[in-house]
Amino acid sequence: MSDIQALERQILDAIASAADEAALEAVRVSVLGKKGSVSELLKSLGGMTPDERKSNGPLFNGLRDRATAAIAARKTALEEGALNARLTFERVDISLPVRPEPVGSVHPVSQVLDEVTAIFADLGFAVAEGPDVEFDDYNFTKLNIPPDHPARQMHDTFYVAKQADGSQHVLRTHTSPVQVRTMLQQKPPIRIISPGRTYRVDSDATHSPMFHQFEGLVIDEVTHLGHLKWTLEEFCKAFFEVDKVEMRARPSFFPFTEPSVEWDLRCDRSGGQIKFGQGNDWLELAGSGMVHPRVLELCGIDSKRYQGYAFGGGIDRLAMLKYGIPDIRSFFESDLRWLRHYGFAALDLPTLDGGLSR
């Protein structure tokens, strides 16, 4: 056997017996590394006569190619072996019973978000979404709140640093920009509900810098305040799980609706517990109104042919009321004891026929 053949045998043996990826790497360095046996052979070609080079070149190169291929094949085999070993080792026995202790629960805000969505879905509303970081244009301008309009001061806005192209983004101060997004994309009739996160520079027992709203929008050829009132009434009955509610309308102002109405709900707080549909107290429920014709036009909808109504309310507030949670800040403290107390079972998705809050 020639020296070259002997060397090849030796190299292939070493590769075959490398027990893991680290050992294989050591073999690779000793063969193909800078000072490796095959690399040295290839270097020696430089000092040979043209004839020697002609006969040895193909031999050395062949050896290098076969060693490289053998190392790659061994590497794949070792990787597969390691994966198989891990899969065997990490096997999960799915026949084991689940652990008895409760492991997690649905946050009341998520629960109420699901409840609100389920109720409006039942009324035929589709769910629409928009991003938390919103164009200033959609959050304000297209909602009939131009730059320098005093109504911008109603919202204590978190501004995002200006983009390179000069455009301005904000953390959306309400879910109303989803109205804009929807109208820019869809043709009437439109009927959407959009629950989501919103942000304002504000923090106390009833305000948190991040909070949640739901937004409703209906655009059609014949819509009026009566439809709006009926929709909100149906929502309240379903949400508070009572047969009867009484709502009171207060004139209000929002730049994107005309007329604008805020709705209060009759309630009774006397027994330390809140009851709806009775009593002499009123609870603020939602802002609303008929969509301002200017907003329709800014969003590409013919305001002569179509009109519609919109409403928006706070999810966190609804959760606090329905489930008797006194401080909004506790929502976002991630206290496990709090979550165990106020959380909901993970698999009980709220539906109108199956039960909303059970």
**Which stretch, 3-11, 76-84, 304-312, 315-323, contacts ligand PHE (CB under 6 A)?**
304-312
> Interface with ligand PHE includes 312 (CB under 6 A)?
yes
Tell me: does residue 310 bind ligand PHE (CB under 6 A): yes
Name the residue type at position 41. Answer: L
Closest CB 226 distance from ligand PHE, rounded Å: 16
Strands 247-254 and 275-276: unpaired
Q: Confirm or reject binding of residue 128 to ligand PHE (CB under 6 A).
A: no
Write down the least CB distance from residue 289 to ligand PHE, Å. Answer: 5
In the range 164-223, which residues lie near ligand PHE by CB under 6 A? 174, 176, 215
Can you read off the two tokens belonging to residue 250? 């207060």
Provide the token pair at 50: 């043209």
Task: Tell me the CA distances in angstroms from 35 to 18, 94, 230, 260, 329, one per residue in order.
Answer: 20, 52, 85, 83, 66
For 120, the token pair is 């409006």
Shortest distance, position 310 Cβ to ligand PHE, whole Å: 4
Q: How far is the CB of 174 from ligand PHE (least distance, A)?
A: 3
Q: Which residue is nearest to ligand PHE (CB)?
A: 312
Of 195, 196, 289, 350, the one binding ligand PHE (CB under 6 A) is 289
Buried b (16+ CB within 10 A) or exposed e, 87-124: eeeeeeeeeeeeeeeeeebbbbbbbbbbbbbbbbeeee
Closer CB to ligand PHE, 125 or 311, in the complex: 311
Burial of residue 186 (number of CB atoms within 10 Å: 0-12, 13-18, 19+): middle
Are 133 and 169 within 8 A, CB to CB? yes
Q: Is 257 in the site for ligand PHE (CB under 6 A)?
A: yes
CA angle 135, 136, 137 (to 5 degrees): 85
Q: Does 255 bind ligand PHE (CB under 6 A)?
A: no
Output the smallest distance, CB 329 to ligand PHE, in A: 20
- Give the residue with the Cβ less far from ligand PHE, 254 or 306: 254
Residues lying near ligand PHE in the complex (CB under 6 A): 174, 176, 215, 254, 257, 287-289, 310-312
